[in-house]
């Protein structure tokens, strides 16, 4: 019953996100809007807890693509994982479908990255990370595929692949420090 809400404006805090939920007719507890430790500014995403999986499903449907302050929200179920500890690296849950892509060419946008991954499965979400001050790509992003099998196949096929003259670094998200 925990969902992720992304693509929030940089000035959106937990109180503002709660207002957005209320306007959408969603009764939920806003856990937090994640902020930068040094600046205290929003990092553009947060987590919301609902009382049931059914309510979470409705919330994702209502919020995904909902326009707030000129930005289309991204809403999805929060991906569970175990944190790294003495026993070894991060162990991602079996439902893990998010892939990290590094060394992206500067001209790649969400649409071209989606097309690049489409041959490896159904693309659920694409997110290139941009510098909030300059608006330029930071050279990395994430693609969420519809199944763990598709994500694994994409990693195997695309890690080291050439994209506009650059060798991509592709791996499952949250698997490296």
Query: First CA to last CA across the chain, in angstroms?
Result: 27
Shared domain check, 7 and 73: yes
Shared domain check, 137 and 105: yes
CATH of the domain at 37: 3.30.70.330
Q: State the pLDDT at residue 104.
A: 93
Shared domain check, 73 and 8: yes
Percent of the chain with pLDDT over 70: 87
Shared domain check, 136 and 102: yes
Sign of CA dihedral 115, 120, 122, 124: negative
Shared domain check, 8 and 71: yes
Judged against a pLDDT cut of 70, whether residue 42 lies above it is answered with yes
Q: How far is CA 123 from CA 14, 75, 89, 135, 166, in A?
A: 29, 15, 27, 24, 22
Judged against a pLDDT cut of 50, whether residue 32 lies above it is answered with yes
Number of domains in the chain: 2
Looking at the domain assignment, is residue 89 inside a domain? no
Question: Given 16, 48, 77, which residue is the final one in a domain?
Answer: 77
d(CA 134, CA 41): 16
Domain coverage including residue 61: 2-77
Shared domain check, 105 and 140: yes
Shared domain check, 47 and 109: no
Sign of CA dihedral 63, 67, 69, 74: positive
The 10 Å CB-count burial string (b at 16+, else e) for 146-165 is eebebbbebbeebeeeebee
d(CA 126, CA 143): 5
Shared domain check, 135 and 71: no
Shared domain check, 64 and 117: no
Shared domain check, 113 and 55: no
Percent of the chain with pLDDT over 90: 10
Q: Residues 52-108: pLDDT tens digits? A: 778 888 888 888 888 888 888 888 876 554 444 444 333 334 346 889 999 999 888
Q: Lowest-pLDDT range, 12-21, 22-31, 74-83, 97-106? A: 74-83
Of 104, 90, 95, the residue nearest 158 (C-alpha): 104
């Amino acid at each position: 019953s925990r969902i992720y809400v992304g693509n929030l404006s940089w000035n959106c805090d937990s109180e503002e996100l709660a207002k957005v939920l209320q306007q959408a007719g969603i009764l939920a507890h806003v856990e937090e809007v994640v902020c930068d430790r040094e600046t205290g500014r929003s990092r553009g995403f947060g987590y919301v807890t609902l009382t049931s999986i059914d309510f979470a499903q409705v919330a994702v449907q209502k919020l995904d693509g909902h326009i707030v302050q000129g930005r289309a929200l991204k809403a999805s179920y929060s991906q569970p994982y175990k944190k790294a500890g003495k026993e070894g690296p991060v162990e991602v849950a079996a439902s893990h479908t998010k892939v990290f892509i590094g060394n992206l060419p500067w001209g790649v946008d969400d649409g071209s990255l989606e097309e690049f991954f489409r041959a490896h499965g159904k693309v659920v979400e694409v997110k290139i990370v941009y510098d909030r001050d300059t608006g330029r790509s930071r050279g990395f992003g994430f693609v969420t595929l519809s199944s763990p099998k598709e994500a694994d196949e994409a990693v195997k096929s695309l890690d080291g692949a050439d994209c506009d003259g650059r060798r991509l670094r592709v791996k499952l998200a949250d698997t490296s420090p």
